């Protein structure tokens, strides 16, 4: 079992902290939910492993998450896990909540990160492209929700996401984080939709590590890319149907009015 | 007067026809959705690995108008061993892995099994003519184009 330092109920979700979470300034958060190419999940997993972040809490819901208990190193954990270091907090989930659950979870995270005094939030995910099979050099697009967030990333080799549609769990997270006035940076790296894409994850991690100021070597991730693609197969398969229900195909449509 | 009555009668008949047609279509759709749900549940509940040592790869099928594009993810595959065969509307894939792999840090049969091969059968909506098929392989991905 795990020791509960603090437990908080937020709608149909429960947030548990195993120990006090205190972050130094400037503090960063990365929210990782399953989406196109599992870019965020693979990226967050690699950051947690490389920086050896400690598990400090978790989030659960009997209504919006599948009835899953995660066992890690003989300890019982929640489906959504929270890791942190002195300046970085990562919310990590391999399980996609139900559609109404994503809305509630986004509101919960917006509230929680604001109370934790997080200065900047990163949302990194994949941008599915139909010709990913042919592409080797991937591009990353960005969207910053505030001037402060824009200052953070303006000197990096990124393309602004100026017009288009964006669907899925990250669309909901973005909307709630904007409402909560969190300085949020959305990073969209070209990727597969339905296959795990460690190369896209590596591209995103490169950018995050430079901004956060913590060196995160992606060489091991790229060397292990094929193993990760095998290991993430079941997780990817479970995600694809949820993405179809969330109208992920909308991203392929050009907007009529811009 | 009689004409009016006949007109009303025919109008009623047409309304009934329309209602029956709508009902049949909605019931048909409901049945198709149930079948799709059952197939999905079967597929979702079956794992992508088997204790005999083979993996089922991820794949997608796209209808591109004049052809179907099937993309199959085969990481760590020995590209020289990829075997693709066609029968009717089925595609049989077999390929050996470059090396045996095990899923580390996983309790149970899944973590103990050594995997050495991919196997899958993919169904597409049309009968395949092997002479109208193109196959490309790149970085552990196989793209099969089946022309209609």
Last residue of a domain, one of B31, B46, B61: B46
For helices A99-115 and A169-179, give the axis angle rounded to 10 degrees.
40
Grade residue A38 by pLDDT with cuts at 50, 70 and 90.
very high
Q: What is the pLDDT of residues B13-36, one digit of tens each?
A: 999 999 888 888 888 888 877 776
| Alpha-carbon distance A215 to nearest alpha carbon in chain B (angstroms) | 26
- Return all residues near B119 (Cβ < 8 A) that are at least 6 apart: B54, B55, B56, B93, B94
Please indicate whether, in this complex, the C-beta atoms of A133 and B138 are within 8 angstroms of each other: yes
DSSP A90-123: EEEESSPPPHHHHHHHHHHHHHHHHHTT-SEEEE
φ/ψ of B109, rounded to 5, equals -60, -40
B100 and B77 both lie in a single domain: yes
Helix (H) or strand (E) holding A126: strand A120-128
At residue A2, the 3 state secondary structure works out as coil
Same domain assignment for residues B17 and B78: no
Q: Is the dihedral of CA B96, B101, B106, B110 positive or negative?
A: positive
Check whether residue B83 and residue B94 sit in a common domain. yes
Exposure string for A192-210, b = 16+ CB within 10 A, e = fewer: bbbbbbbbbbbbbbbbbbe
Q: What percent of chain A stands above pLDDT 70?
A: 99
**CA nearest A73 in B: which residue?**
B105
**Whole domain around residue B41: which residue ranges?**
1-46
Nearest-Cα distance to chain B for A71, in Å, is 10
Q: Answer for the pair B42, A217: CB distance below 8 angstroms, yes or no.
A: no
Q: Which residue has the tokens 């193993």?
A: A227
Q: Do B87 and B28 belong together in one domain?
A: no
What Å distances lie between residue A51 and A45, A90, A218, B77, B119, CA to CA?
10, 11, 12, 31, 37
My answer on whether B69 and B21 are in the same domain is: no
Q: How many domains does chain B have?
A: 2
What residues of chain B lie within 8 A of the CB of A234, using their CB? 47-48
- Same-domain check for residues B41 and B86: no
Which residue has better confidence, A160 or B46?
A160
Confidence band for A169, pLDDT divided at 50, 70 and 90: very high
CA distance B56 to B48: 5
Specify the CATH number for the domain of residue B77. Answer: 2.60.40.790
Residues B33 and B63 in one domain: no
My answer on whether B53 and B41 are in the same domain is no
Q: In terms of domains, do B55 and B13 share one?
A: no
Q: Are A15 and A8 in contact (CB under 8 A)?
A: yes
Residues B42 and B54 in one domain: no
Question: CB of A195 within 8 Å of any CB in chain B?
Answer: yes
Question: What CA–CA distance (Å, rounded) separates B31 from A36?
Answer: 31
Q: Which residues of chain B neighbour A231 with C-beta distances below 8 Å?
A: 103
Contacts of A227 in chain B (CB under 8 A): 75-76, 101
> Is the confidence metric ipTM above 0.90 for this complex?
no
Q: Which residues of B touch A194 (CB under 8 A)?
A: 58, 60
B133 and B60 within one domain:
yes
Residues forming beta bridges with residue A80, ordered by sequence position: A59, A93
**Do B17 and B63 belong together in one domain?**
no
Q: pLDDT tens digit string along A9-26?
A: 999 999 999 999 999 999
């Amino acid at each position: 079992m795990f020791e509960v330092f603090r437990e908080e109920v937020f709608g149909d979700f429960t947030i548990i902290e195993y120990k006090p979470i205190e972050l130094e300034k400037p503090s960063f958060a990365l929210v990782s939910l399953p989406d196109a190419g599992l870019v965020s999940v693979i990226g967050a997993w690699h950051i947690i492993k490389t920086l050896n972040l400690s598990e400090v809490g978790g989030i659960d819901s009997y209504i919006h998450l599948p009835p899953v208990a995660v066992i890690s190193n003989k300890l019982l954990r929640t489906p959504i896990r929270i890791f942190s270091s002195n300046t970085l907090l990562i919310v990590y989930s391999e399980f996609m909540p139900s559609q109404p659950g994503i809305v509630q979870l986004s509101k919960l995270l917006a509230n929680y990160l604001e109370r934790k005094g997080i200065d900047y939030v990163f949302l990194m995910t994949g941008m599915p492209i139909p010709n990913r099979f042919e592409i080797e050099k991937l591009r990353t697009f960005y969207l910053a929700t505030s001037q402060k967030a824009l200052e953070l990333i303006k000197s990096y080799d990124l393309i602004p996401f100026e017009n288009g549609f964006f669907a899925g769990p990250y669309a909901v997270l973005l909307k709630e984080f904007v409402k909560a006035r969190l300085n949020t940076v959305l990073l969209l790296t070209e990727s597969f939709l339905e296959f795990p894409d460690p190369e896209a994850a590596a591209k995103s991690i490169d950018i995050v590590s430079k901004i956060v100021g913590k060196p995160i070597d992606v060489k091991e991730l790229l060397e292990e890319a094929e193993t990760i693609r095998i290991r993430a197969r079941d997780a990817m398969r479970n995600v694809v149907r949820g993405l179809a229900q969330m109208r992920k195909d909308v991203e392929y449509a050009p907007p009529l009015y811009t | 007067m009689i004409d009016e009555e006949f007109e009303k009668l025919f109008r009623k008949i047409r309304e009934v026809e329309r209602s029956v047609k709508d009902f049949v279509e909605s019931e048909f759709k409901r049945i198709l959705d149930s079948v799709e749900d059952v197939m999905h549940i079967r597929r979702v509940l079956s794992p992508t690995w088997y204790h005999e040592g083979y993996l089922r790869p991820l794949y997608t099928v796209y209808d591109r108008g004049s052809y179907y594009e099937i993309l199959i993810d085969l990481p760590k595959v020995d590209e020289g061993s990829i075997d693709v065969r066609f029968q009717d509307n089925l595609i049989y894939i077999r390929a050996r892995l470059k090396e045996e792999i095990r899923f580390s840090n996983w309790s149970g049969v899944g973590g103990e099994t050594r995997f050495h091969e991919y196997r899958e059968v993919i169904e597409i909506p049309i009968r395949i003519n092997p002479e109208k098929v193109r196959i490309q392989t790149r970085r552990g991905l196989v793209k099969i184009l089946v022309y209609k």
